[in-house]
Structure 1
Amino acid sequence: MHKESVFLRLWTYLRNYKGSLFLAIFLKVLSSVMNVLEPVILGLIITELTANLLDMAKGVSGAQINTAYIFGILVIYFIRGLFYEVGTYGSNFFMTNAVQRSIRDLRDDLSEKINKIPVSYFDKHQFGDMLGRFTSDVEVVSNALQQSFLQIVNAFLTIVLVIVMVLYLNFSLALIVIACVPLTYFSARFILQKSQPYFKKQADALGDMNGFVQENLTGFNVIKLYGREEVSAEEFREITENLRDVGFKASFISGVMMPVLHAISDMAYLIIAFIGALQVLSGTLTIGNMQAFVQYTWQISQPVQTITQLAGILQSAKSSLERIFEVLDEPNEASEVTETLSHDLTGQVSFRDVSFQYTADKPLIRHFSLDVQPGEMVAIVGPTGAGKTTLINLLMRFYDVTEGAITIDGHDIRHLSRQEYRRQFGMVLQDAWLYEGTVKENLRFGQLQATDDEIVAAAKAANVDHFIRTLPGGYNMEMNQESSNVSLGQKQLLTIARALLANPKILILDEATSSVDTRLELLIQKAMSKLMEGRTSFVIAHRLSTIQEADKILVLNDGQIIEQGNHESLLAAKGFYYDLYMSQFAKTQI
Structure 2
Amino acid sequence: MSNQLEKKNQDTIKKVFKLIRPYMHYLILSLIFAAISVALTLYAPILSGNAIDLILSKGHVDFAGVFQILKKYAVVIILTGVAQWLMNLCNNKITYRVVKDVRIRAFAKLQELPLKYIDSHQYGETISRIITDVEQFSDGLLIGFSQLFTGIVTIVGTLLFMLTINVKISLVVILITPVSLFVASFIAKRTYTMFKAQSEKRAEMTSLINEMVGNQKVVQAFGYGSRALERFDEINADLQKVSLRAIFFSSITNPSTRFVNGLVYAGVGITGALSAIRGYISVGQLSCFLSYANQYTKPFNEISSVITELQNAAACARRVFDFIEETPEIPDYEQAVDLQQADGSLELKEVSFSYRKDVPLLQHLNLQVKPGQKIAIVGPTGCGKTTLINLLMRFYDIDAGQIIVSGHDIQEIKRDSLRENFGMVLQETWLKSGTVAENIAYGREGTSREEIIAAAKAAHAHSFIKRMPEGYDTMIQEEGGNLSQGQKQLLCIARVMLNLPPMLILDEATSSIDTRTEIRIQKAFHQMMEGRTSFIVAHRLSTIREADVILVMKDGNIIEQGTHDELLQVGGFYKHLYESQFAK
TM-score bracket, normalised by the shorter chain, equals 0.7 to 0.9
Match of 2:139 among 143, 149, 153: 143
State the match for 2:434 in structure 1. Answer: 437
State the match for 1:277 in structure 2. Answer: 273
1:29 is aligned with what amino acid?
A: A
Say if 2:282 is the partner of 1:286: yes
Asked whether the 8 Å contact 1:25–1:150 carries over to 2, the reply is: no
CA 1:242–1:9: 2 relative to 1, 3 Å: closer
CA 1:306–1:529: 2 relative to 1, 3 Å: farther
**Aligned partners of 2:318 and 2:189: how far apart in 1?**
23
Asked whether the 8 Å contact 2:91–2:145 carries over to 1, the reply is: no
**Aligned partners of 1:409 and 1:465: how far apart in 2?**
35
Say if 2:43 is the partner of 1:37: yes
Asked whether the 8 Å contact 2:184–2:253 carries over to 1, the reply is: yes
TM-superposed deviation, 1:303: 1.9
Say if 2:121 is the partner of 1:119: no
TM-superposed deviation, 1:174: 2.0
State the match for 1:59 in structure 2. Answer: none
Identity %: 38
**Mean CA deviation greater in 185-194 or 510-519:** 185-194
State the match for 1:367 in structure 2. Answer: 364
Q: What do the CA deviations read for 1:196-235 (whole angstroms, capped 9, x no partner)?
A: 7877777777777777777777787888888898888888
TM-superposed deviation, 1:6: 4.2
Q: What do the CA deviations read for 1:136-190 (whole angstroms, capped 9, x no partner)?
A: 3333333333221342211211111122222222233223323442233334455
TM-superposed deviation, 1:242: 7.5
CA 1:202–1:507: 2 relative to 1, 3 Å: closer
Asked whether the 8 Å contact 1:380–1:553 carries over to 2, the reply is: yes
State the match for 1:499 in structure 2. Answer: 496
Asked whether the 8 Å contact 1:489–1:520 carries over to 2, the reply is: no
Asked whether the 8 Å contact 1:555–1:564 carries over to 2, the reply is: yes
**Aligned partners of 2:224 and 2:314: how far apart in 1?**
44
TM-superposed deviation, 1:475: 0.6
Asked whether the 8 Å contact 1:496–1:531 carries over to 2, the reply is: no
TM-superposed deviation, 1:557: 1.9
TM-superposed deviation, 1:473: 0.9
**Aligned partners of 2:233 and 2:360: how far apart in 1?**
48
Match of 1:470 among 467, 471, 494: 467
SS in 2 for 1:355: strand
- State the aligned residue count: 577
SS in 2 for 1:445: coil
CA 1:255–1:333: 2 relative to 1, 3 Å: closer
CA 1:403–1:207: 2 relative to 1, 3 Å: closer
Q: What do the CA deviations read for 1:104-155 (whole angstroms, capped 9, x no partner)?
A: 3333334444434443443444333332332233333333332213422112
Aligned-residue CA RMSD in angstroms?
3.5
TM-superposed deviation, 1:432: 0.9
CA 1:204–1:454: 2 relative to 1, 3 Å: closer
Asked whether the 8 Å contact 1:184–1:301 carries over to 2, the reply is: no
**Mean CA deviation greater in 402-411 or 222-231:** 222-231
TM-score, normalised relative to structure 1: 0.86
Asked whether the 8 Å contact 2:372–2:534 carries over to 1, the reply is: yes
Match of 1:89 among 85, 90, 93: 85
Gaps of 5+ in 2: none
Asked whether the 8 Å contact 2:204–2:235 carries over to 1, the reply is: yes
Match of 2:484 among 482, 487, 494: 487
Asked whether the 8 Å contact 1:181–1:304 carries over to 2, the reply is: no
TM-superposed deviation, 1:100: 2.4
CA 1:96–1:559: 2 relative to 1, 3 Å: same
Asked whether the 8 Å contact 1:185–1:305 carries over to 2, the reply is: no
TM-superposed deviation, 1:460: 0.4
Q: How does 1:392-541 map to 2 (within 5 A)?
A: 392-516=389-513, 518=515, 521-522=518-519, 524-541=521-538
Asked whether the 8 Å contact 2:188–2:308 carries over to 1, the reply is: no
CA 1:28–1:530: 2 relative to 1, 3 Å: farther
Say if 2:576 is the partner of 1:579: yes
TM-superposed deviation, 1:439: 0.9
**Mean CA deviation greater in 464-473 or 189-198:** 189-198
**Aligned partners of 2:214 and 2:526: how far apart in 1?**
37
1:33 is aligned with what amino acid?
A: A
Q: How does 1:116-195 map to 2 (within 5 A)?
A: 116-189=112-185
TM-superposed deviation, 1:369: 1.4
Asked whether the 8 Å contact 1:428–1:508 carries over to 2, the reply is: yes
2:69 is aligned with what amino acid?
A: I
Q: How does 1:240-255 map to 2 (within 5 A)?
A: 254-255=250-251
Asked whether the 8 Å contact 2:125–2:203 carries over to 1, the reply is: no
SS in 2 for 1:400: coil
TM-superposed deviation, 1:576: 1.9
State the match for 1:22 in structure 2. Answer: 28
Q: What do the CA deviations read for 1:328-352 (whole angstroms, capped 9, x no partner)?
A: 4435533225464686222111112
Asked whether the 8 Å contact 2:124–2:207 carries over to 1, the reply is: no
**Aligned partners of 1:399 and 1:229: how far apart in 2?**
35
**Aligned partners of 2:247 and 2:336: how far apart in 1?**
65
Gaps of 5+ in 1: 57-62
2:283 is aligned with what amino acid?
A: I
SS in 1 for 2:333: coil
Match of 2:562 among 561, 565, 574: 565
